[in-house]
Amino acid sequence: MKKMYRTLAVSALLGGLALTTYAQEFKAGFVNTDRIFREASSAKAAQSKLEQEFSKRERELIAASNQLKSASEAFERDAPTMSESQRLAKQRALVEQDRDFQRKSREFQEDLSVRKNEELARVLEQANRVVQQVAEKEKYDIILQEAVYVNPKHDITDKVIKALNDGSK
């Protein structure tokens, strides 16, 4: 019986040593994708590209909004002096103008969202390639992109951003 306990204790000790050795060899890292989207030069370039692409439509929407607001205020001011038929016609025109504005605004938001997702996907694809290169070069076993808590010593986001910025030059 003693011999069996001794064998079991030695086995447990050896197993614990093997796990400790394995745990020391395991190397994990973390990448904050939000920071990459904010700080990487390729992400900033994508944002600038989107702003240029959509700025004209945005200005047109702002102008249409201001025109609709002015027309609505003029209607409110002039409505008491208008005939019933004039008031109804003006009201219909305002409703139609508002409907057109809402449609254009919705289309703008949808187009912007689609293009933004395309650009972010491109940046994320580049970032993932860089993460893989860093992981292979520095022999990481795992790189996580989402975590509740990360010890700062495991955060390799700065390395990835630097590599992305160096690669885009």
Give pLDDT tens digits for 111-158.
Answer: 999 999 999 999 999 999 999 999 999 999 999 998 889 899 999 999
pLDDT the model gives residue 16: 52
Q: Is pLDDT of 4 > 70?
A: no
Q: Is pLDDT of 19 > 60?
A: no
Neighbours of 25 (CB within 10 A): 8
Domains of the chain plus CATH, in order, are 23-167 (3.30.910.20)
Average pLDDT over every residue of 8-34: 65
End-to-end CA distance of the chain: give it in Å, rounded: 71
Helix (H) or strand (E) holding 37: helix 33-39
pLDDT the model gives residue 11: 55
List the beta strands (DSSP E) in 26-137. 28-30
Neighbours of 105 (CB within 10 A): 14
Average confidence score pLDDT of the chain: 87
